[in-house]
Amino acid sequence: MSIISDSLKRIKPSPTIAVTQKARELRAAGKDVIGLGAGEPDFDTPDNIKNAAIKAIKSGDTKYTAVDGTPALKKAIVDKFKRENKINYTTDQITVGTGGKQVLYNAFMATLNKDDEVIIPARLELVENKFFIMLSWQL
């Protein structure tokens, strides 16, 4: 008897992760590679962000937060959109997640039912499709 659920067994390995891993291997072998797999930046974390993280750790700001982001972070995002993009939002219109996949998964889980039909403009081999397969939604 397998401990893996039937829904998880339907999921195939991610091509995005495979491409990203191959790029890492080629870099490690000394090849000059531009990775177009996972959506990670190709630069180090900026010093101001590193310093803010260190300051937060030293001040004890290390506990669990609200699932959709802390009020201070959501306010900073609202301010950024207003200042840099001339777009007005309120904090209740902002959600923060660990990444795009997590935010999409949360949105799908909150709004879709088993027999709902989902239309994706381009049928791509992305993780979003795996959500639908895993949860037996129609794609």
* Per-residue pLDDT tens over the stretch 126-139: 555 566 655 555 55
Residue 123: pLDDT over 60:
no
Amino acid, res. 95: T
**Better-scored residue on pLDDT, 36 or 111:** 111
Residue 12: pLDDT over 80:
no
pTM of the predicted model over 0.75: no
Q: Which pLDDT value is given to residue 133?
A: 59
Q: In sequence order, what are the beta bridge partners of 117? A: 138
Q: What does the pLDDT average to over 2-23?
A: 78
Does domain 1-63 bear CATH number 3.40.190.10?
no
* Per-residue pLDDT tens over the stretch 16-59: 778 888 888 999 999 998 877 777 777 889 999 999 999 999 99
* Per-residue pLDDT tens over the stretch 77-90: 999 999 999 999 99
Report the distance separating Cα 120 and Cα 108, nearest Å.
Answer: 13
Most confident of 46-50, 63-67, 114-118: 46-50
Q: Which pLDDT value is given to residue 131?
A: 61
Residue 24's Cβ-count burial label (10 Å; 0-12, 13-18, 19+) is middle
Report the distance separating Cα 72 and Cα 78, nearest Å.
Answer: 10
Report the distance separating Cα 12 and Cα 138, nearest Å.
Answer: 17
Q: What does the pLDDT average to over 119-128?
A: 59
